Amino acid sequence: MASPASIRSHPVHPMLIAFPIGLWIFSLVADLIYHSVSRDPFWKEVAFYAMAGGIIGALLAAVPGFIDYLSISNRSVKRIATAHMTLNLVVVVLFLFNLGVRYSAAPQGEVLGVLLSIIGIVCLAVSGWLGGSLVYVHGVAVESQPSREEQRPAA
């Protein structure tokens, strides 16, 4: 089943998900650098802005993802897609809350922020596994390839 949210047969959702994933992981890395190596406030700021960028990227990736979701008709596949979408929304809410904790700059917020990032990344990994199952096991947003017979020119 090809993706309805695609550009020249290339699905848009997988193109966009790399940004929030990378930014949220980098945000956690910046936190770990701040807490274990540096204590330079620069790393706290990097973590904050990487997290904010990840939230924006996730919301942008959600639009074509939801368009793809609406095109799924198989009930068992739709259940997996619903779990994937719900988990992603939970991750976005976790990181929004995390951003708020950091913005308030409460002293206990530093440890809570790192803990929320770790929980968010773990949830993101589970959601990514579900997304991979949708694509690689169930063929969601994958355009079927013509068979060898269909590829042969007519004689």
Delimit the domains of the chain by residue range. 6-143
Q: Residue 151: pLDDT above 70?
A: no
Residues across the chain: 155
pTM over 0.85: yes
pLDDT top residue among 143 and 1: 143
CA distance 1 to 108: 48
> What per-residue confidence (pLDDT) applies to 105?
77
Looking at residue 75, its amino acid is R
> What per-residue confidence (pLDDT) applies to 155?
58
Looking at residue 27, its amino acid is S
Distances (CA, A) of 121 to 92, 109, 146, 154: 11, 18, 38, 52
CA distance 149 to 49: 53
